[in-house]
Amino acid sequence: MYTGSLFYCLEIMVSEHQFDPEVISAVRSAHTAVNVITYFLLFLAVFAGVMLGVFNAADDTTTEGFVMGFAAIFFLLSIPAIVTCWLVKRCIAHPEPWKQAVVWTYCLLLIPVFPLGTGGAIAILYGQIKWMRAP
């Protein structure tokens, strides 16, 4: 039964399968890595939105130019970041092949984004592989 918790997979791991605490901490670190990457993307979206808003409103006397410039970049970056965070966090440590494919694809896209993406991808893959190898 789904309880609505962000760590639902961890609750199942603890209650039903009795995984090693090391595996549970590795999966939790993968969740934390996804959160850190999402927060960085949201910060980047706010920064880029403010910059484009200021550039767009440079010759305008109303705030409409700023709002349109801010919204053009902010929502373009922030909505996919939040949806991807939501999706990947629910796919970590699940046995279905398509959920594992989501996690691996996310990590493959992050690896070239050095240093934050590489570190985050390594933490996520470490948690996923640790969970896959658990008895």
Let me know if residue 5 belongs to a domain: no
Confidence at residue 10, expressed as pLDDT on a 0 to 100 scale: 59
Q: Looking at the 3D structure of the chain, how many domains does it have?
A: 1
Task: Give the C-alpha separation, 55 to 69, whole Å.
Answer: 8
Do residues 52 and 72 touch, judged by C-beta distance below 8 A? yes
Let me know if residue 4 belongs to a domain: no
Domain that holds residue 47: 21-133
Instruction: Give the pLDDT means over successive 10-residue stretches in the chain (135 positions).
Output: 53 62 90 95 95 85 85 94 95 91 95 92 94 85
Confidence at residue 1, expressed as pLDDT on a 0 to 100 scale: 43
Let me know if residue 28 belongs to a domain: yes
Let me know if residue 10 belongs to a domain: no
Confidence at residue 19, expressed as pLDDT on a 0 to 100 scale: 74
Question: Could you tell me if residue 66 is left (phi over 0), alpha (psi between -120 and 50 degrees) or otherwise beta?
Answer: alpha
Task: Give the C-alpha separation, 23 to 36, whole Å.
Answer: 20
Classified as helix, coil or strand, 95 is coil
Classified as helix, coil or strand, 134 is coil
Let me know if residue 55 belongs to a domain: yes
Contacts of 66 (CB under 8 A, 6+ apart): 53, 54, 56, 57, 60
Let me know if residue 9 belongs to a domain: no
Let me know if residue 1 belongs to a domain: no
Confidence at residue 8, expressed as pLDDT on a 0 to 100 scale: 57
Q: Report which secondary-structure segment, H or E, holds 97.
A: helix 97-110
Let me know if residue 15 belongs to a domain: no
What pTM does this model have? 0.82
